[in-house]
Structure 1
Amino acid sequence: MAEPIISLLDPEFEDDPVGALARLRGMSPLVRIGFPGGPPVWLITRGEEIKAALNDSRFVADVSKVPGHQGPSIAEEALASLDLPVEMLSYFRSNLQVQDGESHARLRRLAAPAFSGRRIKALRPRIEETSARLVDELAQKGSGDLLRDYSTPLTGAVICELIGIDEADQPQLRKWMDEYASADVDFSTSIRELSDYLKKLIQRRRAEPADDLVSALVQTMDEDGDRLDEAEVISTVAVLVNAGYHSTAHFIPNAVLTLLDNPDQLALLRARPEALPHAVEELMRIATPLPATGPRYATEDFEFAGVSICRGDAVTGSLLSANNDPRLFSEPERCDVERVLKPGEGHLAFGAGPHRCFGASLANLEGEIALNHLMVQRDSLEITVSRSRLKYRELIPGGARMLSACPVRL
């Protein structure tokens, strides 16, 4: 008997996504879901099974590694509808998020040093300074949009500085990133303009190297051995800017809302601000805007979590479901900023396995500083509209769920 296909467009997934996913989690560790115009996908609903899948080499991010497979991946099919130049598709295929094995490890090995503990620690004073300035400017205005006036300028400045985007170019880069995440804009133009900009930046850093990731990648382009090509440099920089900009920028207002909904936990943090780094882990579990992993493809027929998977099947893991899985967390519906977990039992907001986000420590630091400046050092921040009037957007069903705006008074 064929598995029933569940549509993520059903109202329950918008009205009560945590409850809807709990229902699916109770049904099975894997359920078949459908996307408009796309093939059915296996959704992994339970935390331990998601960890196992992300560490299982039989699942690959690059669909071309599936024996006998022909045709584009799910993401490539979506990109094809945008009428992008062929070179844009080559950038996507060079993306470290869709690489596996040694090709993925190679790109990660070259990019990860920019996010080392030493580099992130050195960024703290700059993040503190930028955050304090943005909070002061928002307070002087009296009211504004937490996204537009605080979190996106903060995360944009931080990731751009780390990667090597000149300060004068950062407003334009944020514009491209905002257009990329907007369902109301044809972002193909933004992608073209961003790639043209990065080509010119590569030329500038070749002529005048700096202490940044772009310069390091350009040096690798020009060396023998582990050489990168231009498409790999452009795709790596674009992916890291996009991830470092959007994910943390949208985590911050989500975390603010969570603390306002849990005044006892907010009071605890104000009494013990030294607990903030630990509290950010709990808030990442609850308030991450990234609900699912990217698709993986089965390279062979096998049984996974008691379910028969066929070669070529696509699977994705629900991070939102995993982070609310009572098999992993006691009372997962409760926000507990003093929650203590054993090593290896943490949340899955940053994924797991070889593709786990290496920007996690940077995101945690930005979240800690933001919540300290917005919620701990001050007690006046309030949302100026009812929760029912806060609007969210999804580029694809089940994809990143991001606030369109977050009006506040400070």
Structure 2
Amino acid sequence: MNEPSRRSSGEASGTGPDEQAVSLLSPEFEEDPVGALARLREKAPLVRVGYPGGQRVWLMTRSEEIRAVLSDPRFVVDVTRVPGHEGPSITEQMIAALDLSDELRDSFGANLALEDGQSHARLRRFLAPAFTLRRIKALRPRIEEMSAPLLAALVRKGSGDLLHEYAAPLTSGVICELIGIDEADRPQIQRWMSEYANANADFTASLQGLSGYTRQLIERRRAEPADDTISTLVHAVNADGDRLSEADITSLVVNLVNAAYHAMNDFILNAVLILEDNPDQLALIRARPEALPHAVEELMRIAPSIPNAGPRYATEDMEVAGIPICQGDILTGSLHSANFDPRFFPRPEQCDVERVVKPGESHLSFGSGPHRCIGAALANLEGEVALDHLLIRHEGLEVAVRRSELKYREVIPGGARLLTSFPVRL
């Protein structure tokens, strides 16, 4: 990425100031997202797209540029780090539109996705002990213990809703287990999490309920510590004597719980769809169950739960893929497009559970660089257990409706589309 000549970013690479930005809300991106993104990817490494709030954003479509930008400290997620910037960020505009109280705004405060540099590293250091590989591996027996009765109940019925009767209670149970939420409280936590991303529910009430519960849990763990993440966050002190505030811990917990819940629900359901559509690949996994961890990587590539990286702001003038970027320009990356980039993945539209990729060239569903998802290992483990139980140990599961009958909801325009139900026969 070299230094460009100074010019308006709207004039770059043949994209004039009056040229209409691509709309990711157009029907082609809903009907055939892989094909539509492929056409954008071959058109240019960066294209102008419209974003919520009316802003024009550079969308990166190729894996190489996305990896580079996500690892480049000259691009930040906190717009206040851009010299001379005035006005709110895209994220701040979205939060402002929710019209939350000051107390509820704190629920978005300590968020790994919204911090850069030392402030980001500080939060990550406090969270890191909860996500060590040793601790995640130790959760496997408990995840299997939670999964087995959920599947058994569905099998006894012979049919049901895989989202509400299996995926949702499993994924909420796993993240609650890791954080230290008491088992008796988990059904209510699941209800709040379900409402959190549901446009038809009372978002404010669910956020208020989850935040309030977390503050009460902090007080309980402050008085009586346990072997869980919430206790670690409450009592942790770093080398400088720094502690997390109650608002910091509340925000971290609320964001972790919701991210883990919705992303993993989405992955489990879409992985079942992919393998049902590729019976030869399912047969390979059943023949060699030990290859399941490797297969989960391929399924994560094909079905990213988060389609786009969060906005990045350029702190100086530069070039990306030969296109001049001006200080203050906004870039985002299509993780979905990157995962189907033929420059990294031969025959990208083919599901190949035996696919081998070079080190450093895996999928971008967990992001890349300093902001790579801290829960990636947990997500992979949950995916392995769920698919092992649903499709390997039990071979009779099938989707009970046509693909066209599956119902989705959009969390934000142009963002993740989440299934609202998933009828199956067993």
TM-score after normalising by structure 2: 0.94
Looking at structure 2, the residues matched to 67 and 122 of structure 1 have their Cα atoms a distance apart, in angstroms, of: 45
1:310-362, CA deviations, whole angstroms, 9 ceiling, x for partnerless residues? 22222111010000000110000000000011211111110000000121111
Looking at structure 1, the residues matched to 185 and 89 of structure 2 have their Cα atoms a distance apart, in angstroms, of: 33
Match of 1:86 among 91, 102, 116: 102
Looking at structure 2, the residues matched to 332 and 304 of structure 1 have their Cα atoms a distance apart, in angstroms, of: 24
Looking at structure 1, the residues matched to 102 and 91 of structure 2 have their Cα atoms a distance apart, in angstroms, of: 15
Match of 2:310 among 294, 307, 319: 294
- Residue 138 in structure 1 maps to residue 154 in structure 2: yes
Cα pair 1:221 1:230 within 8 Å, conserved: no
Cα pair 1:254 1:288 within 8 Å, conserved: no
The match for 2:329 is 313
Looking at structure 2, the residues matched to 297 and 333 of structure 1 have their Cα atoms a distance apart, in angstroms, of: 31
Secondary structure in structure 2 of the residue aligned to 1:6 = coil
Secondary structure in structure 1 of the residue aligned to 2:219 = helix
Q: Quick one: which amino acid aligns to residue 407 of structure 1?
A: P
Secondary structure in structure 2 of the residue aligned to 1:7 = coil
Q: Quick one: which amino acid aligns to residue 199 of structure 2?
A: A
Secondary structure in structure 2 of the residue aligned to 1:5 = coil
Match of 2:341 among 325, 337, 340: 325
The match for 2:5 is none
Secondary structure in structure 2 of the residue aligned to 1:308 = strand
Cα pair 1:146 1:405 within 8 Å, conserved: yes
- Residue 104 in structure 1 maps to residue 98 in structure 2: no
Match of 2:215 among 186, 189, 199: 199
Match of 1:21 among 20, 37, 44: 37
CA positional deviation for 1:164: 1.1
Looking at structure 2, the residues matched to 365 and 272 of structure 1 have their Cα atoms a distance apart, in angstroms, of: 17
Looking at structure 2, the residues matched to 35 and 403 of structure 1 have their Cα atoms a distance apart, in angstroms, of: 23
Cα pair 1:383 1:407 within 8 Å, conserved: yes
1:278-318, CA deviations, whole angstroms, 9 ceiling, x for partnerless residues? 10000100122211111111112221111121222221110
CA positional deviation for 1:222: 11
The match for 2:370 is 354
CA positional deviation for 1:224: 6.6
- Residue 121 in structure 1 maps to residue 137 in structure 2: yes
TM-score after normalising by structure 1: 0.97
Q: Quick one: which amino acid aligns to residue 293 of structure 1?
A: A
CA positional deviation for 1:8: 1.2
What are the equivalent positions in structure 2 for 1:191-270 lying under 5 Å apart?
191-220=207-236, 225-270=241-286
Looking at structure 1, the residues matched to 53 and 93 of structure 2 have their Cα atoms a distance apart, in angstroms, of: 10
Structure 2 segments unaligned to the other structure (5+ residues): 1-15
Looking at structure 1, the residues matched to 170 and 77 of structure 2 have their Cα atoms a distance apart, in angstroms, of: 31
Looking at structure 1, the residues matched to 341 and 400 of structure 2 have their Cα atoms a distance apart, in angstroms, of: 32
Looking at structure 1, the residues matched to 31 and 130 of structure 2 have their Cα atoms a distance apart, in angstroms, of: 40
Cα pair 1:182 1:395 within 8 Å, conserved: yes
- Summarize the Cα distance change of 1:36–1:293 in structure 2 as closer, same or farther, 3 Å threshold: closer
Q: Report the more deviating stretch, 38-47 or 1-10.
A: 1-10
Secondary structure in structure 1 of the residue aligned to 2:236 = helix
Looking at structure 2, the residues matched to 157 and 38 of structure 1 have their Cα atoms a distance apart, in angstroms, of: 38
CA positional deviation for 1:220: 2.8
Looking at structure 2, the residues matched to 279 and 292 of structure 1 have their Cα atoms a distance apart, in angstroms, of: 23
CA positional deviation for 1:36: 4.3
What are the equivalent positions in structure 2 for 1:158-169 lying under 5 Å apart?
158-169=174-185
Cα pair 1:291 1:401 within 8 Å, conserved: no
Percent pairwise identity: 66
- Summarize the Cα distance change of 1:222–1:35 in structure 2 as closer, same or farther, 3 Å threshold: closer
Looking at structure 2, the residues matched to 202 and 309 of structure 1 have their Cα atoms a distance apart, in angstroms, of: 44
Q: Quick one: which amino acid aligns to residue 370 of structure 2?
A: P
- Residue 273 in structure 1 maps to residue 289 in structure 2: yes
Looking at structure 1, the residues matched to 54 and 195 of structure 2 have their Cα atoms a distance apart, in angstroms, of: 24
What are the equivalent positions in structure 2 for 1:27-106 lying under 5 Å apart?
27-106=43-122
| CA RMSD between the two structures | 1.4
Cα pair 1:375 1:381 within 8 Å, conserved: yes
1:371-406, CA deviations, whole angstroms, 9 ceiling, x for partnerless residues? 111111121101111111011221222211211111
Looking at structure 1, the residues matched to 333 and 318 of structure 2 have their Cα atoms a distance apart, in angstroms, of: 18
Secondary structure in structure 1 of the residue aligned to 2:88 = coil
Q: Report the more deviating stretch, 66-75 or 196-205.
A: 66-75
CA positional deviation for 1:218: 0.7
The match for 1:375 is 391
1:174-203, CA deviations, whole angstroms, 9 ceiling, x for partnerless residues? 111111111212301211121111111111
The count of residues paired between Structure 1 and Structure 2 equals: 410
Looking at structure 1, the residues matched to 80 and 370 of structure 2 have their Cα atoms a distance apart, in angstroms, of: 19
Looking at structure 1, the residues matched to 123 and 53 of structure 2 have their Cα atoms a distance apart, in angstroms, of: 32
The match for 2:21 is 5
Looking at structure 2, the residues matched to 33 and 236 of structure 1 have their Cα atoms a distance apart, in angstroms, of: 31
Looking at structure 1, the residues matched to 373 and 240 of structure 2 have their Cα atoms a distance apart, in angstroms, of: 28
Looking at structure 2, the residues matched to 407 and 223 of structure 1 have their Cα atoms a distance apart, in angstroms, of: 51
